[in-house]
Copies of this chain bind each other. A is one copy, B any other.
Amino acid sequence: MLEVNPLPLPRVARSDSEAGLSIAEAARRTGVSVHTLRYYERAGLVVTPVGRTAGGRRRYQQLDLDWIVICTKLRATGMPIKAIRRYAQLVSTGRGNEQERLALLEAHRAEVTAKLAEIQENLRLIDHKIDVYRGRLAAGDADQLWAPGSPADVR
């Protein structure tokens, strides 16, 4: 767990609405395209509204970036946009819905582990085929152990 870091604010006036990173810089730091950043915002994935300058430009704070990175990680596990939106809603609503957040995460976790198991299981088929082909090639093309029209296994 991270420690809360209460001190590091004295430098700049924090309520300055111009403070923060441009969308291009936020994209660079999170590894997400500016298009996708805006899409995520439109899709309701943000917990707290991204700040804006007087002129309407987005200004990203560290918290925004952190949340976006969390979103990308959830996406990387296959969590659908809708589920992330729901989770974001729960988080932004604040305390009192921890039970539902937990349920959402647990449900997704179950899907991920099931998917992992499925992939791993089917990866064995690929490994097996790779072994077969390596064996065939090592033995030389002409020397076929199996007849043509042979078991599906050798395909």
Inter-chain CA distance A2–B73, complex, in Å, is: 42
The closest CB in chain B to the CB of A102 belongs to: B133
List CB contacts (< 8 Å) of A110-155 with chain B.
112-113, 115-116, 118-120, 122-123, 125-127, 129-130, 133-134, 136-137, 141, 144, 146-148, 150-153, 155
List CB contacts (< 8 Å) of A78-131 with chain B.
78, 91, 94-96, 98-99, 101-102, 105-106, 108-109, 112-113, 115-116, 118-120, 122-123, 125-127, 129-130
Inter-chain CA distance A70–B91, complex, in Å, is: 43
- The reply to whether the CB of A43 lies closer than 8 angstroms to some CB of chain B is no
Inter-chain CA distance A152–B47, complex, in Å, is: 11
For chain A, which range describes its interface: under 10, 10 to 19, 20 to 34, or 35 or more residues?
A: 35 or more
Partner of A73, one of B95, B122, B151: B122
- The reply to whether the CB of A13 lies closer than 8 angstroms to some CB of chain B is no
- The reply to whether the CB of A77 lies closer than 8 angstroms to some CB of chain B is yes
Q: In the complex where A74-B122, A112-B123, A119-B78 touch, is A133 in contact with B153 (Cβ < 8 A)?
A: no
10 A–B contact pairs at CB < 8 A?
A1-B151, A66-B152, A67-B155, A74-B126, A76-B119, A96-B141, A98-B133, A102-B130, A109-B123, A113-B123
User: Residues on A close to B: CB < 8 A?
Assistant: 1-2, 4, 47, 63, 66-67, 70, 73-74, 76-78, 91, 94-96, 98-99, 101-102, 105-106, 108-109, 112-113, 115-116, 118-120, 122-123, 125-127, 129-130, 133-134, 136-137, 141, 144, 146-148, 150-153, 155
